[in-house]
């Protein structure tokens, strides 16, 4: 059997439970998807009123679209982008703010986001505007990251009385080194596109307006290569990056859950939703 068919058939349980997918734009609630020419699967995060904050529904849509493209033999590479203002401004704070520690631990909250990194075909993240908190973490799950000139990366969870929970402490530290990652995570300050490129967090910076076209161009080039060899190449590069990562991710997630046992986490998120400054009580 043709190896591409075998790859597509490898995951029938997921591929066949997905919603039907055509070359026309699909009907997800929180993302737009399209099969672009040259074998490229295109995903645009689409919650403009919330600056693409990552709610549960968005995760479900994204996961479904990624599985669909992964199982589609016509697709060789995937592009994920947001809007010109925001790739994603983080986890949806309003959805998360009333959660309690036992619940976060019981459901292993956020563990499902690791599925994004399990996509076998290469993903190019094209970041314009804010990529903050979970948005920065989602960007770092992509295999290649390119940025528009207006991109701003950050892990501002500290301002909400919590910490990164989707891999930020692990992937950012590996990408830009301990000192700068520590500074960003402890101060919550953002990094601009030029600095992100100079530190290797992103591989290229383009004008904001042409970023998506540049991402599609790169994706078409990748999609024109041998599909199985491309996946093998991705796997080996990731091996260099990920050895030891799983333990780090699990540790980070557990500590993230435990911030839900603090009053300061509750206060930080309530303060955001109520548009006021947080009043820390140190417990």
Ligand X SMILES: CCCCCCC/C=C/C(=O)SCCNC(=O)CCNC(=O)[C@H](O)C(C)(C)COP(=O)(O)OP(=O)(O)OC[C@H]1O[C@@H](n2cnc3c(N)ncnc32)[C@H](O)[C@@H]1OP(=O)(O)O
Q: How far apart are CA 105 and CA 205, in angstroms?
A: 38
Does residue number 166 form part of the binding site for ligand X (CB under 6 A)?
A: yes
Q: Is 129 among the catalytic positions?
A: no
CB-wise, 59 or 153, nearer to ligand X? Answer: 59
Query: Which are the contacts of 15, defined by CB distance < 8 A and separation ≥ 6?
Result: 8, 67, 68, 71
- And the tokens for 204? 């290229």
Per-residue interface string for the shown chain with ligand X, residues 12-51, x marking contact by CB under 6 A: --------------------------------------xx
Does residue number 185 form part of the binding site for ligand X (CB under 6 A)?
A: no
Q: Is 274 among the catalytic positions?
A: no
CB-wise, 91 or 181, nearer to ligand X? Answer: 91
- Catalytic-labelled residue, pool 91, 139, 193, 271: 91
Per-residue interface string for the shown chain with ligand X, residues 84-113, x marking contact by CB under 6 A: -----xxxxxx-x-------------x---
Least distance (Å) between residue 162 CB and ligand X: 6
Among 76, 134, 148, 161, binds ligand X (CB under 6 A): 134
CB-wise, 8 or 272, nearer to ligand X? Answer: 272
Closest CA to 183 of 129, 277, 195: 195
CB 104 within 8 A of CB 257: yes
CB-wise, 225 or 262, nearer to ligand X? Answer: 262
Instruction: Specify the stretch interacting with ligand X by CB under 6 A; choose among 1-9, 11-19, 156-164, 234-242.
Output: 156-164
Q: Which residues are catalytic?
A: 91, 134, 137, 157
Q: List residues binding ligand X (CB under 6 A).
A: 50-51, 53-54, 56, 59, 89-94, 96, 110, 130, 132-134, 156-157, 160, 164-166
């Amino acid at each position: 059997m043709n190896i591409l068919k075998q790859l597509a058939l490898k995951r029938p349980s997921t591929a066949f439970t997905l919603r039907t997918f055509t070359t026309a734009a699909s009907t997800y609630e929180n993302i737009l998807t399209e099969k672009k020419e040259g074998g490229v699967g295109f995903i645009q995060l689409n919650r403009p009123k919330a600056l693409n904050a990552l709610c549960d529904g968005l995760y479900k849509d994204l996961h479904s679209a990624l599985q669909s493209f992964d199982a589609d033999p016509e697709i060789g590479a995937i592009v994920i982008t947001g809007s010109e203002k925001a790739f994603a401004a983080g986890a949806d704070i309003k959805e998360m703010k009333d959660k309690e520690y036992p619940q976060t631990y019981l459901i292993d909250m956020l563990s499902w986001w690791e599925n994004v990194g399990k996509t076998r075909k290469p993903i190019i993240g094209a970041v314009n505007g804010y990529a903050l908190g979970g948005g920065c973490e989602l960007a770092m799950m992509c295999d290649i990251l390119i940025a528009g000139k207006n991109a701003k990366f950050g892990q501002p969870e500290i301002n909400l009385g919590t910490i990164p929970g989707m891999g930020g402490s692990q992937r950012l530290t590996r990408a830009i080194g301990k000192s700068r990652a520590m500074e960003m995570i402890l101060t919550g300050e953002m990094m601009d596109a030029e600095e992100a490129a100079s530190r290797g967090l992103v591989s290229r910076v383009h004008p904001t307006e042409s970023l998506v076209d540049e991402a599609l161009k790169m994706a078409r080039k990748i999609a024109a290569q041998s599909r199985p060899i491309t996946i093998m190449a991705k796997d080996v590069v990731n091996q260099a990056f990920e050895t030891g990562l799983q333990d780090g991710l699990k540790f980070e997630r557990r500590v993230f859950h435990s911030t839900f046992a603090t009053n300061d986490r509750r206060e930080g998120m309530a303060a955001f939703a109520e548009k006021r400054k947080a009043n820390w009580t140190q417990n």
